[in-house]
Amino acid sequence: MSPQFPASATQVDQPQPDAAAASVYRAQDMYPLLRCCSCSGSRRLSVNLSYFDTLLAALQAHAAVPQHPCASSEPRQAALADYLYLERVLDHLLQIAPADAVQLRLRAAQLALLGSGLRLPRRDQRARTHLETLLAAVPDHPQANLQYGELLATRAGQPQAAVVPLQRAFGKGLDAAARLLGEVFAVLGRPRKARRYLQQYLDGRPDDAAARALLAGLAAG
């Protein structure tokens, strides 16, 4: 049985967006996103990461809707404008705020990955560059390894290369990595390892019907 990679294993905890609600995207208030803070007698610009995550979730819900409104629609244009604004903000902050680089790069990668859902070109490569830069500095970062492994497995067509980052993420306690490892090892023709990881994943998430079906298919095969 060929595994079906989830659209985003890093988002398995989030409820599926309501298509009607998510497609009616409205321009978000960007005012709370940026703030100035004093540091060693000087002022510097920083980003409200919690608010950024709220904006990212709204864009993610819109990008996940299978049938977008036509490209000229108001919700579509609002989503694209907000996306491009956030992208510019992160690019600028990565140049001027190296102390925050890890959190900024992680979110820049998340933003780039959902850019493909908004049909923007070359965003997968942009995400890969951000994640590889982050992991060069912090090789064991759990979420970055999970996102990088997912990107390699589901978008770049490199399941073998995905094994190491996914195992690092799993070793740091991210159970979403166990599901992806099960799917990756199934693709690589290693059903015993695939079953082991899927069973470990299902021990904590018994209601995941797709993972359970994959495990059953591997057992039958």
* Phi, psi at 35, each rounded to 5°: -150, 155
Tens digit of pLDDT at every position of the chain (221 positions):
445 555 455 543 444 445 555 567 888 999 899 887 666 666 677 889 999 999 999 999 888 876 544 555 888 889 999 999 999 999 999 998 777 899 999 999 999 999 988 889 999 999 999 999 999 999 999 999 999 999 999 999 999 999 999 999 999 999 999 999 999 999 999 999 999 999 999 999 999 999 999 999 998 87
What integer pLDDT is reported at residue 14 of this predicted model?
Answer: 42
Distance CA 34, CA 11 (A): 25
Query: Does residue 124 lie in a domain region?
Result: yes
**pTM for the structure as a whole:** 0.84
Region of 93 on the Ramachandran plot (φ > 0 left; ψ -120 to 50 alpha; else beta): alpha
Number of domains within the chain: 1
What integer pLDDT is reported at residue 17 of this predicted model?
Answer: 47
Distance CA 92, CA 109 (A): 15
Facing residues of 44 across strands?
37
What integer pLDDT is reported at residue 65 of this predicted model?
Answer: 76
Residue 35's CB is within 10 A of a number of other CB atoms, namely: 12
Query: Does residue 199 lie in a domain region?
Result: no
**Nearest to 83, CA basis, from 128, 113, 47, 44:** 113
Query: Does residue 120 lie in a domain region?
Result: yes
Q: Which domain holds residue 131?
A: 9-158
Query: Does residue 188 lie in a domain region?
Result: no
What integer pLDDT is reported at residue 50 of this predicted model?
Answer: 94
Is residue 121 within 8 Å of residue 99, measured between CB atoms?
no
| Cα dihedral: 146, 149, 154, 160 (round 10) | -150
Distance CA 102, CA 98 (A): 8
Query: Does residue 187 lie in a domain region?
Result: no
Query: Does residue 172 lie in a domain region?
Result: no
What integer pLDDT is reported at residue 213 of this predicted model?
Answer: 96
Distance CA 36, CA 44 (A): 6
CA 127 to chain centre: 9
Query: Does residue 80 lie in a domain region?
Result: yes
Query: Does residue 181 lie in a domain region?
Result: no
- Angle at alpha carbon of residue 86, lines to 23 and 162, rounded to 5°: 85
What integer pLDDT is reported at residue 15 of this predicted model?
Answer: 42
What integer pLDDT is reported at residue 163 of this predicted model?
Answer: 98
